[in-house]
Amino acid sequence: MPDFKQFKAVILLVTLSLIWGTSFILIKQALKVYSPDEVGSLRVALAFLFLVPIALQHLKELTSADYGKLFFSGMLAVFLPAFLFAIAQTHLNSSLAGILNTLSPIWTMVIGALFFSQRFRGWAIFGSAISFGGCIVLAMARVEGGWGGFNVYALLIVLACACYGLNLNFIKFKMPGMAPMTIISVSLLLIAPLAFVYLFGFTDFTHRLTNVEGAWRALSFIAILALMSTAVANLLFYKLLRISSPLFASSVTYVMPVVSVMWGVLDGEVLVLGHFFGMVLIVGGVYLANLKRG
């Protein structure tokens, strides 16, 4: 990677870490009024509204084969994670959600090795084992001290990270020449109908909006989440992916936990030694998995 391109990649990486690291506290604030499925569907629907004019301009660039790929990418990158994170954060604080999201590079590497002929070295196996061990530690640590049963809601974030890892490899190797703006805008265009049908057909969103105190404030948090963490961030992310490797791009999660923990502490969340130990294992495992990789 040339020096300028490498510098640009690092700037994009830091910017994305700040944006996505803030998304967990926004989800937490939105969940004070709306149900997790409402938060998920609103996030997708509002992101679509922000980008629909751009999506319509890019439709002429596509072939019929592209639509299926973009729908699949939209489901992996936006739709499913939007619901999984919102549901998980009903039983996990925003700090822990941000820390668990650090598993994305591990999934990127594992899925790349299994399905996209990417090299899988010894350090990668060792690092993956440590990271998943950290996930278990994190899910069992309790604020009141000691250890408890495994928090199964942590697995929803693990699943969301797997979606991210599959999408990264899919975009890089199955749609290498497609423009980032086309990918994010048209994929949102294709998945948005599902979000709108679910939101207005299967939730009481309109009732909450007009009758629950603080509903408009919570909606503003989701709007920021949709604009920055979904629309803008995914655009920047696909730009990063075009000038770097999937593994480097997914390393955005190195900085993201720091941002999410900072917001969580400011909001009064409490982390105990077990949480920090789990975070060290996860981040350390991701670092080891990146060693000696081209």
Q: What is the pLDDT of residues 255-280, one digit of tens each?
A: 788 888 889 889 998 877 888 888 88
Where are the alpha helices (H) located in 175-272, listed in sequence order?
180-202, 205-211, 215-224, 233-243, 246-250, 256-266
Burial of 125 (0-12, 13-18, 19+ CB in 10 A): middle
d(CA 138, CA 115): 29
Checking if the pLDDT of 39 tops 80, the result is: yes
Amino acid 147: pLDDT: 65
Q: In 223-249, which positions are buried (b, 16+ CB within 10 angstroms) versus exposed (e)?
A: bbbbbbbbbbbbbbbbbbbbbbbbbbb
Check residue 146 and give its pLDDT.
Answer: 59
pLDDT score at 294: 42
Q: Place 143 in a pLDDT band, splitting at 50, 70 and 90.
A: low
Residue 148 is predicted with a pLDDT of 63
Cα gap 110→106, rounded to integer Å = 6
- Judged by average pLDDT, the poorest of 71-75, 120-124, 135-139, 177-181 is 120-124
Residue 267: count of CB within 10 angstroms of its CB: 13
Q: Minimum mean pLDDT among 67-71, 165-169, 244-248: which range?
A: 244-248
Range 49-64 burial, b when 16+ CB lie within 10 A, else e: ebbeebbeebeeeeee
- Nearest CA to 190 out of 79, 37, 41, 82 is that of 79
- Rounded to an integer, what distance in angstroms lies between the CA atom of residue 85 and that of residue 114? 25
Paired strand residues for 141: 147
pTM for the model: 0.87
Q: 19-23, 117-121, 151-155, 243-247: which has the highest mean pLDDT?
A: 19-23
